[in-house]
Structure 1
């Protein structure tokens, strides 16, 4: 029984895997924590006690102290070490673009590893969390770098803190049109996702440019994979007609844990 954790800056998600002798795995329980230090709670999820994991693997971007707290609590509960994913120059067929691999967020790396494990063809991997990260996966498992922009919540809070007249409530819905706003509420609520879509379109263009430069011919539209809390919402919005296959994969980061280099704490 394996417990997998995806600890972000704002919240954590988890799932329990039952692994058969042949190596096949089945998710038997999953969940998400409210923002805050779940490792300090009096009670951990009932499914953890019921199924008692014998291994724990974690992707953590919340810093070394959080990693220490997670490892300490889970050792107390289950007497097993926690294996934390780390970024490496090459792993599972993927080559990292960063010269200083330790500077790449492990969540981004895990999502790219999972994207490649699912399908080795080129892809743009978009994680819509507190920040929106866009990672370019080229041919042959070559990570081509990426972009980081503020997420929807961060952009809204920036408007709240630095302006006076645009403090409007969030009004988002799946597939909503992004026509120019006819009032301030519309202008903000249409404008924020429009900025994310603009970043996605430009990242797609750059990926296509790099693919064409390598192959010497025009490349087909790469896969577009969404994950993160706002991933399904952004994926539902109108995009370029040249867009290829779009997938929303809520657990893409945790999928990458099975491929990554791990270090026990």
Structure 2
């Protein structure tokens, strides 16, 4: 069991999340630009904390990892503990041929989802990239899919087509009925691409598992997609951070 103050970070390519735990209970939660972390700029909320450990999931590259390691030593006198993908951990077997090729954020989300419920599940992280990971009963990771998130999809569409450069309109629970103008068609079509991929992955997993899989949502756009999915699902915004306690107990 974790003891004392632990500072946790989920470091993405553009945005990072952090959480302060005290004996396993969340005391504070926040976000910062990864570029600021790279420059060694600390959130004001960190000014008075003295964690006993610092553990992190990093997908932003070695430069950011080095910056965080230096920050941990200089500011807190700690060695940063970086999560790593393993062939087996916490009852889950990695489905990648080379486990080190799987993004550590995906791995931690899978570990956390399996700990919450060991049934077959699809874990969807809705960020700049949308990742879908299939988890069979018994903790067998089956691999997954990666596709562009809403922002990159929109930018890709705009880059080669002039007539569809419409104003972004996004609201919780928005209609996904066929658009009656170009703005509606674009703004409703983009989330449908993600939702269609999710339905395909669920069908694949349903055939493999022989049962109805669970659906877990996380990531920056997780709340938006949660408002659109008509099927039962669970939204867990800190799923990646939750996995750190399993990979780095």
Q: Hey, what does 2:243 align to over in structure 1?
A: 256
Q: Hey, what does 1:163 align to over in structure 2?
A: 161
> SS of the counterpart of 1:258?
helix
Return the match for 1:108 from 103, 106, 109.
106
Structure 1 residue 238: Cα displacement: 4.1
State whether residues 114 and 252 of structure 1, in contact with CA within 8 Å, keep that contact through their aligned partners in structure 2.
yes
Q: Hey, what does 1:40 align to over in structure 2?
A: 39
In structure 2, distance between residues paired with 1:67 and 1:163: 38
> SS of the counterpart of 1:86?
coil
Count of residues paired in the alignment: 245
Structure 1 residue 74: Cα displacement: 2.0
Matches within 5 A, 1:22-61: 25-34=24-33, 36-42=35-41, 44-61=42-59
Relative to structure 1, the CA distance from residue 141 to residue 80 in structure 2 (aligned partners, 3 Å threshold; closer, same or farther) is: same
TM-score, with length taken from structure 2: 0.95
Structure 1 residue 165: Cα displacement: 0.9
Return the match for 1:225 from 208, 216, 223.
216
Instruction: State whether structure 2 residue 225 is matched by structure 1 residue 234.
Output: yes
TM-score, with length taken from structure 1: 0.89
Matches within 5 A, 1:1-265: 1-19=5-23, 25-34=24-33, 36-42=35-41, 44-212=42-210, 219=211, 221-239=212-230, 243=231, 245-261=232-248
Deviation string, structure 1 residues 106-138 (Cα, Å, up to 9, x no partner) = 000000000011111111100000100000111
Q: Hey, what does 1:22 align to over in structure 2?
A: none
In structure 1, distance between residues paired with 2:10 and 2:197: 25
Range that drifts further, 62-71 or 106-115:
62-71
Structure 1 residue 45: Cα displacement: 2.4
Deviation string, structure 1 residues 218-265 (Cα, Å, up to 9, x no partner) = x1x2111100000110111143xxx3x411111000000000158xxx
State whether residues 127 and 133 of structure 1, in contact with CA within 8 Å, keep that contact through their aligned partners in structure 2.
yes
> SS of the counterpart of 2:217?
strand
Range that drifts further, 32-41 or 152-161:
32-41
In structure 2, distance between residues paired with 1:53 and 1:111: 24
In structure 2, distance between residues paired with 1:37 and 1:70: 11
> SS of the counterpart of 1:51?
coil
Relative to structure 1, the CA distance from residue 238 to residue 28 in structure 2 (aligned partners, 3 Å threshold; closer, same or farther) is: closer
> SS of the counterpart of 1:186?
helix
Unaligned 5+ residue runs, structure 1? 20-24, 213-218
In structure 1, distance between residues paired with 2:226 and 2:76: 38
Structure 1 residue 39: Cα displacement: 4.0
In structure 1, distance between residues paired with 2:162 and 2:237: 35
State whether residues 87 and 261 of structure 1, in contact with CA within 8 Å, keep that contact through their aligned partners in structure 2.
no
Structure 1 residue 41: Cα displacement: 4.9
State whether residues 88 and 261 of structure 1, in contact with CA within 8 Å, keep that contact through their aligned partners in structure 2.
no
Deviation string, structure 1 residues 153-195 (Cα, Å, up to 9, x no partner) = 0100101111111111210110111011111111100000000
